Amino acid sequence: MKNITVVGVGYVGIITAVCFADLGNRVTALDIDDARIEGLRNGIMPIYEHGLEEMVARNVGADRLSFTTSYSDAVKGAEFVFIAVGTPSGVDGEADLKYVRAAAESIARSMDGPLIVVNKSTVPVGTGDWVADIIRSNQPEPIPFWVVSCPEFLREGSAIPDFMSPSRTVLGSVEREPAEKVAQLHLSLRAPIMITDLRTAEMIKYASNAFLATKISFINEIANICEALGADVKEVATGMGYDQRIGPHFLDAGLGYGGSCFPKDVKALSHMAQEKGRNPQLIHAVMEINTDRRRLLVSKVQDLFGDLTGKKIGLLGLTFKPNTDDMREAPSLDIAKRLIAAGAEVRGYDPVGMANAAAVMPEITMAEDPYALAEGSDVLVVCTEWNEFKHLDLVRIRDLMLQPAIVDGRNIYDPIVMARMGFRYRPIGRDFGPDGKPIAEAHAEVAAS
């Protein structure tokens, strides 16, 4: 059993803390937000993640997990301190490191013995050296410490299994011994462990996220071309995915990437490159394509009706992805603003993220369920691919709408089925042939003949 402190109980921090506790360590989770810590003490989670509440309760009950707002209490006696605070985008896309700085300064003033400080936050290349300088200059008296980079690769909605069954653990350090000690914490996870230098470890995180974002933007670019040429992007992606060099993951055409990681990390990587005189052309294109997805979705709605003034539009799903309540960089935010600017009346529904959505989207009305959303609507727009939306009573949905139309930003329905049911249906990358005729209608005609 090791004594571990995790600074920050946001998405990465709370998952890191509870999982290390579940592995048998004694973990103290620290945050300067009094309300958040008090909530955790009372069983109120700061995020939605399947199984998290039960896991926290189990480890608190076993006296392996505790919460505090005091650095002196949290750092005293710790062998490892993980920094897992936010690194939001700054004005020019750079990562804002004010929370990392504050954490490093407080750790330096509170440590009472040798300590391994582990950067878990996604930080710019060179931050490990910078954190070491901050700790060294803020120590009341010299105490040995080491800085190790251990970037996270968690997906919202499956963060606990991602932590417990990782594809790899990446560690970076100036000296090998502290990295090997951090590796010992991860041995029971039975995944490959890569030990490298600090800057390379930090770069691996950015390169990984930028590559995945590139796959998403690539398939969305292909979706645009499919629409022009009459091909089906879902079939194209399936055919591509069988190639082991490509793989099937992150090839779902739709509204682009969102959330807390991809948008800020791609921007931060671009900023780092430009600061060093490099021109990251591909990364710029990835960002442009992603931004354009929201505009194209609204154009599909306008193609159905022309003038959107007074049209009642319902957004099915509001969070940036299913199985999370996270609204950060959610496509629905931009889509709602564009629709409202065009004169539409916008309502929304989400199975989990309604409270967070209402806080950042006060201009839209929330519906109690998908059927209440459909009632009286001119069109529904699928923004998030929640499983429950795939199993809706579409006949009931159709009959509740003023004029049954669905713009499917996530391609969750079958175009032929939707056409046969009487919907004006517009998916992504699989709707129009070269003659401008909807593919769904053409398929339905062929099937009926």
3-state SS string over 182-211?
HHHHHHHHCCCEEEECHHHHHHHHHHHHHH
- What pLDDT score was predicted for residue 426? 94
- What pLDDT score was predicted for residue 92? 86
Burial letters 288-327, b for 16+ CB under 10 A, else e: ebbebbbebbbebbbebbeebeebbbbbbbbbbbbbbbbb
Task: Count Cβ atoms below 10 Å from residue 180 Cβ, excluding itself.
Answer: 14
pLDDT at 436 over 60: no
- What is the chain's mean pLDDT, rounded? 95
C-alpha triplet 230, 235, 238: angle, nearest 5°: 150
Is residue 383 flagged as an active site residue? no
Kindly write down the DSSP assignment for every residue of 364-383, as one continuous string: SEEPSSHHHHHTT-SEEEE-
Residues of the chain with CATH 3.40.50.720: 3-196, 233-448
Tens-place pLDDT, residues 361-388:
999 999 999 999 999 999 999 999 999 9
- What pLDDT score was predicted for residue 303? 93
233-448: CATH superfamily:
NAD(P)-binding Rossmann-like Domain (3.40.50.720)
CA separation, residue 370 to residues 144, 351, 359, 398 (Å): 58, 9, 20, 12
3-196: CATH superfamily:
NAD(P)-binding Rossmann-like Domain (3.40.50.720)
Residue 366: name the closest of 345, 347, 387 by CA. 347
pLDDT at 178 over 80: yes
What is the percent of the chain with per-residue pLDDT over 90, rounded to a whole number?
93
Question: Is the sign of the CA dihedral 203, 122, 266, 155 positive or negative?
Answer: positive
C-alpha triplet 367, 371, 376: angle, nearest 5°: 80
Beta-carbon contacts of 369 under 8 Å, excluding residues fewer than 6 positions away, are 349
Q: Active-site residue among 19, 226, 261, 383? A: 261
94: left (phi over 0), alpha (psi -120 to 50) or beta: beta
Tens-place pLDDT, residues 313-360:
999 999 999 999 999 999 999 999 999 999 999 999 999 999 999 999
Confidence of residue 126 (pLDDT cuts 50, 70, 90): very high
pTM of structure: 0.92
Beta-carbon contacts of 243 under 8 Å, excluding residues fewer than 6 positions away, are none
Q: Please tell me the distance from the alpha carbon of residue 45 to that of residue 56, in angstroms, as a whole number.
A: 9
pLDDT at 449 over 80: no
Q: Among 84-98, 122-136, 195-209, 372-386, whose mean pLDDT is lowest?
A: 84-98
Amino acid identity, position 42:
N
Q: Please tell me the distance from the alpha carbon of residue 326 to that of residue 14, in angstroms, as a whole number.
A: 15
Phi and psi torsions of 380, nearest 5°: -110, 140
Q: Residues 385, 413: contact at Cβ < 8 Å?
A: no
